[in-house]
Amino acid sequence: MKRLFSFFILLSLLAFSNIAFGVQPVWQARCGGRIIKPGLSKNFLINNCRQPDQTEQFTRGSSGRVAQMERLYYYVDRHTYIVTIRDGIIESINVEPR
């Protein structure tokens, strides 16, 4: 029971740490009149928004399953939209103040 309580305390601290640092997950964003959300392709994103201002590529996983990952950074007004792509599909969208 004590471990479970400690786990929930740790989980809640981690959940609020993104808010403390100003990073907020976004479930969807609008770009070019279209809704951009997780599950759509990278091509759909670029065709409707534009090329990102900055790109970061990396791999995630182990030898059994390696995923090609990208982070696309879009600078809009005073915000940075960070779109995480996994194997060509949008995984998440986060926004943080610049």
The tens digit of pLDDT for each residue in 72-91 reads: 999 999 999 999 999 999 99
**pLDDT digits 0-9 by tens, 4-56:** 444 444 444 444 444 444 556 777 888 878 889 999 999 999 999 999 999 99
Determine the Cα–Cα distance for residues 45 and 36; give it in Å rounded to an integer: 7
Which pLDDT band holds residue 62 (cuts at 50, 70, 90)?
Answer: confident
| Spatial separation of the C-alpha atoms in residues 61 and 42, rounded to whole Å | 20
Q: Count CB atoms within 10 A of the CB of residue 71.
A: 17
The reported pLDDT for the residue numbered 3 is 54
Lowest-confidence range among 3-7, 66-70, 88-92, 93-97?
3-7
Mapped to the 3 state alphabet, what secondary structure does the chain carry? CHHHHHHHHHHHHHHHHHHHCCCEEECCEEECCEEECCCCEHHHHHHHCCCCCEEEEEEEECCCCEEEEEEEEEEECCEEEEEEEECCEEEEEEEEEC
Structural domains in the chain plus CATH codes? 22-97 (3.30.1450)
Query: Can you tell me the mean pLDDT for 60-83?
Result: 91
